[in-house]
A and B are shown apart, each in its own frame.
Chain A
Amino acid sequence: DGGITQSPKYLFRKEGQNVTLSCEQNLNHDAMYWYRQDPGQGLRLIYYSQIVNDFQKGDIAEGYSVSREKKESFPLTVTSAQKNPTAFYLCASSPGTSNTGELFFGEGSRLTVL
């Protein structure tokens, strides 16, 4: 069953701790993305990667880091430097720049900082 899987679904973190959100896809897509969703602010791009071992900052990259060591995986680390990390995080993938552009989203990870 093809798709994009995020884990964990819910995560609680104490202030000052780093946390890593997992994103795995078996769609053989080249591009992967991380978005942050806050009420009333739509989806804001954190980082994206178009090929393995390469990634670019999005609009709100400060306090986040990513890696793309495998085509299937694009984990996001929310570091202690992120001032307001409580949010809903969505991972997405797309076939690549030569395709329709449709994003396929995971079910999201809700991070709460206590």
Chain B
Amino acid sequence: GENVEQHPSTLSVQEGDSAVIKCTYSDSASNYFPWYKQELGKRPQLIIDIRSNVGEKKDQRIAVTLNKTAKHFSLHITETQPEDSAVYFCAASDRAAGNKLTFGGGTRVLVKP
């Protein structure tokens, strides 16, 4: 089955700096890669996703890049703000397996004012 590794497990950045979280996956059949944000005490919510036919996707201050050859994908947050402090999870799935997502271990991001 799929295995997703996520690094780092914790990340502390100064407000205004960039944050980068990296994930690798094992199953070359995976073709959908979402990122979820979980604020303290709240449910995970999708913030951005990318499909295997695209190399990069941006949405305001967040972007995701995908390297299918190397089987890794990354989340980039620019101009970080205190409200970006949360746990971020990457995930991968093979659509043929019915949206069964395999998640990484999570990255706790702390943005210091």
Contacts and interface: CB of A to CB of B under 8 A. Distances in A.
Interface in A53-98: 58-59, 90, 94, 96-97
Most buried by A among B42, B46, B91, B99: B99
B106 A103 contact: no
B9 interface: yes
Contact of A42 (B1, B49, B104): B104
A50 interface: yes
A102 interface: yes
Contact of A48 (B46, B100, B106): B100
Given A40-B105, A40-B106, A101-B49, A50 B1 contact: no
Contact of A58 (B44, B45, B100, B106): B100
A57 to B, nearest CB: 11
B80 interface: no
A48 B101 CA distance: 10
A44 B106 CA distance: 11
B98 interface: yes
Contacts of B95: 97, 101
A101 B45 contact: no
Contacts of B46: 102-103
Bin the interface of chain B by size: 20 to 34
Q: Is the interface of A mostly helix, strand, loop or mixed?
A: loop
A99 B32 CA distance: 11
A40 B95 CA distance: 26
A17 interface: no
Contacts of A100: 49
B45 A105 contact: yes
B34 A101 contact: yes
A68 B99 CA distance: 18
Given A33-B100, A90-B43, A101-B49, 10 more contacts: A31-B98, A42-B4, A42-B103, A42-B105, A43-B91, A90-B44, A101-B95, A101-B101, A103-B34, A105-B44
Interface of A: 31, 33, 35, 40-45, 48, 50, 58-59, 90, 94, 96-97, 99-103, 105-108
